[in-house]
Chains A and B, each alone.
Chain A
Amino acid sequence: MKRKRHVRFAALMLTACAALCLTASAQNLEERVVEHTLDNGMKLLLMPRTQSPTVALHIWVKAGSVDEPIDRTGIAHMLEHMLFKGTRQLGALNYDAEKPLLDKLDELHVQYDPLNTADDLSDEQEAQRDRLKAEIERVQQQARELAVPSQVSELYAYEGAVGLNAGTGTDFTAYIVSLPANKIELWMRIEAERMRDPVLREFYTERDVVMEERKQRYGSDPFGMLSDALLTAAFKAHPYGTPIIGWESDIERLKRPEAERFFKTYYAPNNAVVAIVGDIDVERVVERMTHYFGGIPAQEIPPRIGTKEPKQSGERRVYVKFDAEPRLQVAFHKPTVPSYDDFVFNVINSLLTSGRTARLYKALVEERQVAASVRSVNGYPGSRFPNLFMIDIVPRSPHTPEQVEQALYAELERLKNEPVSDRELQKVRNQFQADFIRGLNSNAGMASQLGYYELIAGSWRYTQTLLDKANRINAEDIQRAAREYLTWENRTVAVLVREAPAVQEEADE
């Protein structure tokens, strides 16, 4: 049948070739991504795609929760929220009148926060707290009358932006939006303003919002709780163990000048990557970006955290009690990008949980039927520093998490003891190749990839490196890495339970 098709389409050879050639070059990122660095060190990654008259616009800043002062956890995320509050121009009706009010609010909160967070207050202190609270509300109201709180969001919305958002990770903070392609310059103006001159107005109201976010995502969600418990157990020294959103007792004390300090330290053009994918004229974009961002001065970024997580020397196990059905996470320490073993774990990750033929799905969900679902992540919770390979399992009743755990370990032992077949390895390579191609199909997805790898690995070309390396990894690599890292000494186990385990009688031999 295949041959017949060739004959039938012989007449279309020319068209077919044109299509094929185009296809081949579409996958060649080297030919499609234009890299340009402004004089102030801001890196631009530009990829024209003319599928639609739209453009994805991403700014990735190398400042995440790992970069926070140890007793100011949550400040990176808090700042991310605050950068939607405008600038001297944006969201302001009269900044000169507003500024002293904002300063006044800072002063009031220096007095108010300790009273608000204290456990025991005298009557006098309570009265003082309430007085301060009333004063804060009064000043807040005055300041609010001089501001348009959501103007940045409104400007974008008005012009048809979609996906306006920002995200804070352990490693980075990303600011993303997509616009109709003819409005790219609006984005440049707003974002250059944000980077040059933000005003963190409504800081203390937004702090309440973040406290609510914490209660929603961590305090009311079984998955959030379990993940939190796993990370704090797995990391004793490195800040990867600290929740990105911060500890409650830190968040409720954060002050505006502290967020400004964090901003001034890290939000510099030489600490940011801009990825733009869509219907763009590259030369024009470079020219306009230079115009808007070129005047923002570069600055020295302080040395990054040097703390290394010490080698783990025995299993760590934590339980979390929560009103939900049980769940299990198991994680192993491992090196990160660009170490060879990180590539090996990409392959292991895929072997274990990618699809219905993946080993853990087959063994735990299909054959033994001890789990409802299983997934895994390589590079958890970040990739700028040595990280974890994490397996997340939803047990299927009546099987306990501990029973599922044993089934998991049996599969991990297989990885150590039996070489992976050529076909299985080839399957994983095919999947990486196909995922890479599918990734090219979305402006926003592509912008994320370019920005992320530039930031984490120092080059967007890492997307290609991932493929090349995957093709080289062999059965021995996998066996060796499994033996080295997937051990009792190196693992952390977190279990979500509804009830505390019953006290067990000492068993007779």
Chain B
Amino acid sequence: MKRRQRQTLAAAILTAVFLTAAQAQLPILEGLEYPPLNANPPKAEKVVLDNGMRLFLLEDHELPILNITAYIKTGEIYDPPGKTGLAGMTAAVMRDGGTASRTPDEINEALEFIAGSIEVGMSDEYGTASLNVLVKDADMGVQLFADILMNPAFQEEKAELQRGQLIEAIRRRNDSPLQTAFREMQVRLYGDHPYARYASMDSAMAISREDMTAFHRDHFRPEGIWMAVSGDFQTDEIVQKIEKAFEGWDPPAVEHPETPAPQFKPGGIYHIEKEIEQTFIVFGHAGIQRTNPDWHSILVMNDILGGSGFTSRLMRKIRVERGLTYGVSTNFFRKNLDGFFFGYSSTQHQNAVELIQLAKETMAEMRANPVSDMELALVKNQNINSFVFLYTSSAQIAAQSLVYQFLGYPEGYLESWTDNVAAVTKESVLAAAQKYLNPDDLIIVTVGQREKFGRPLEELGEVNEIRLESPKK
């Protein structure tokens, strides 16, 4: 595998040199030659412990530090009905609620005195836990880390504190217009699917300490934990440390329920009234899975549309040429099941409808005609040439070596990256646009002051006003 990786990097360099020559008429590039890039990223070593935990280890003796990032097979998608927020609260109280043998204060005092940190986090389709310590404190760090993952005590007082924090976050979630628009777009698109569930005051109140202990028991399990371990250690020694710290952890096996396939809602126009200086716009529609075989064409297509900053069409048309916005971008948010495509921007109220029309037209144009040779070459090279930045630190390389497989990307995803990008053609980009862009079926959410719109929002279709609940006093 290591050899294959080197080959792909070498291929990247060749392509780059070849295509640069095509641009050589620019005087500033005259006579500029790039020496070969010496890219030989080290490779993480994989060890599977007896309890099923997988370690991906990379020694790095530059600095006296130890980093562990664990990816955990769980996620907010497993929040039970009526208890949305449980997974996130479980993670937060695992970290803050003490363990069977240590009080929360003991953990924090010990850890922060040695300038270490441990965090536990939760996203929709996985959980994370991280440890950062100086390597001289590796013993204590690994022991605390294991204790928190295995034996959280979910102290009642800390559970209440986190519930209070969750409720405050709910109260504040309409403070940011972009966040509001994004959430409402997702909810309108997915309906009640777990990919778009948000905690409510009621669900926050319904979560009990027992729910958290059960969630932990069922979802934090050695065979569901993959760890990226990097830093200034000897591999066999750190493996033994970790093995010993997690010794005897053998919770009974549990099957996670299967998440149903999303049933996407049809497009529609939604507006939320808010007194601010701009209208924020988020639009989206059904997207793709992580295993999608057309990914590289979709990526290149989206980069040309709105995914690559100043070099994308939306940025050029809406910002650079018209000065209508500070930012506009689009993205495909891939998930295990069908993810979603979305775009966002913001502009003074006057220009809101015009901006949306421009975005829709630009999407339609992607479906109508092939992209130019220049656009294609630019985006392909950008993706191929920036590949080395996936390997800039040992922590990153260790994480990289597990995360794609962990999240269910196709086998060899990274190794075949440059070859797959190089194989993208104008035809495959056009096909991807026609198959995966649907400007006529967008969920569009605007947050702003509708009476100041220069053109009526109804031009885009029937408008549904969303009234947000204001937080209870």
Q: Which residues of B contact A35 (CB under 8 A)?
A: none
- Shortest beta-carbon distance, A386 to chain B, in Å? 30
When chains A and B are docked, how far (Å) is the Cα of A54 from the Cα of B387?
11
Q: Which residues of A contact B101 (CB under 8 A)?
A: none
Q: Which residues of B contact A157 (CB under 8 A)?
A: 308-311, 378, 381-382
* Interface-side segment among B37-45, B72-80, B145-153, B422-430: B37-45
CB closest residue in chain B, given A158: B381
Q: Which residues of B contact A372 (CB under 8 A)?
A: 165, 168-169, 172
* A325 CB contact (under 8 Å) in B29, B175, B346: B175
Tell me whether A459 is interfacial, beta carbon within 8 Å.
no
Tell me whether A441 is interfacial, beta carbon within 8 Å.
yes
Q: Which residues of A contact B463 (CB under 8 A)?
A: none
Interface of chain A residues 297 through 319 with chain B (CB within 8 A): none
Q: Which residues of A contact B389 (CB under 8 A)?
A: 52, 54, 160, 162, 178
Tell me whether B410 is interfacial, beta carbon within 8 Å.
no
When chains A and B are docked, how far (Å) is the Cα of A209 from the Cα of B391?
35
Q: Which residues of A contact B36 (CB under 8 A)?
A: 182
Fill in one digit per residue for B377-408: 1 if any A CB lies within 8 Å of its CB, else 0. Answer: 11001101111110111110000000000000
Q: Which residues of B contact A49 (CB under 8 A)?
A: 62
Judge whether B175 and A222 touch: CB under 8 Å. yes
CB closest residue in chain A, given B315: A150
Tell me whether A357 is interfacial, beta carbon within 8 Å.
yes
Judge whether A158 and B385 touch: CB under 8 Å. yes
When chains A and B are docked, how far (Å) is the Cα of A221 from the Cα of B35?
47
Tell me whether A193 is interfacial, beta carbon within 8 Å.
yes
* B234 CB contact (under 8 Å) in A9, A90, A356: A9
When chains A and B are docked, how far (Å) is the Cα of A208 from the Cα of B378?
27
Tell me whether A465 is interfacial, beta carbon within 8 Å.
no
A180 and B64 in contact (CB under 8 A), knowing A149-B321, A442-B393?
A: no
A323 and B275 in contact (CB under 8 A), knowing A220-B280, A221-B176?
A: yes
* Secondary structure class of chain B's binding surface, majority of residues: mixed
Tally of contacts, chain A with chain B, CB under 8 A: 236
**In which size bucket is the chain A interface?**
35 or more
Q: Which residues of B contact A419 (CB under 8 A)?
A: none
- Shortest beta-carbon distance, B249 to chain A, in Å? 20
When chains A and B are docked, how far (Å) is the Cα of A347 from the Cα of B382?
43
- Shortest beta-carbon distance, A13 to chain B, in Å? 12
CB closest residue in chain B, given A24: B64
Interface of chain A residues 4 through 58 with chain B (CB within 8 A): 5, 9, 12, 19, 22-23, 26-27, 49, 51-54
* Interface-side segment among B108-116, B213-221, B290-298: B108-116
Fill in one digit per residue for A183-217: 1 if any B CB lies within 8 Å of its CB, else 0. Answer: 10110011001000000001011111111110111
CB closest residue in chain B, given A22: B61
Q: Which residues of A contact B320 (CB under 8 A)?
A: 149-150, 202, 205
A437 and B134 in contact (CB under 8 A), knowing A157-B382, A178-B389, A356-B96?
A: yes
Judge whether A84 and B115 touch: CB under 8 Å. no
Q: Which residues of A contact B37 (CB under 8 A)?
A: 53, 180-182
Judge whether A161 and B386 touch: CB under 8 Å. yes
24 cross-chain CB contacts under 8 A: A9-B234, A27-B63, A49-B62, A89-B28, A149-B321, A154-B310, A154-B311, A158-B23, A160-B16, A160-B388, A178-B389, A182-B36, A186-B29, A186-B34, A204-B323, A209-B319, A209-B325, A216-B326, A220-B280, A356-B96, A372-B168, A398-B473, A441-B65, A441-B395
Given contacts A155-B26, A219-B278, could you give 10 more A-B pairs where the C-beta distance is less than 8 Å?
A: A157-B310, A158-B381, A160-B386, A210-B326, A215-B346, A323-B274, A357-B108, A372-B172, A430-B115, A440-B62
Seen from chain B, the residues whose Cβ lies within 8 Å of a Cβ on chain A are 13, 16, 19-20, 23, 26-29, 32, 34-39, 41, 60-65, 96, 108-109, 112-117, 132, 134, 139, 161, 164-165, 167-169, 171-172, 174-177, 232, 234, 237, 274-278, 280, 308-311, 316, 319-327, 346-348, 377-378, 381-382, 384-389, 391-395, 471, 473
For the complex of A and B, the 9 pairs showing the least CB-CB separation, nearest first, are A160-B385, A219-B277, A208-B323, A434-B115, A324-B175, A160-B386, A213-B326, A153-B310, A220-B276
Seen from chain A, the residues whose Cβ lies within 8 Å of a Cβ on chain B are 1-2, 5, 9, 12, 19, 22-23, 26-27, 49, 51-54, 84, 89-90, 144, 149-150, 153-155, 157-162, 164, 178, 180-183, 185-186, 189-190, 193, 202, 204-213, 215-222, 279, 323-325, 355-357, 365-366, 369, 372, 394, 396-398, 423, 426-427, 430-431, 433-435, 437-438, 440-443
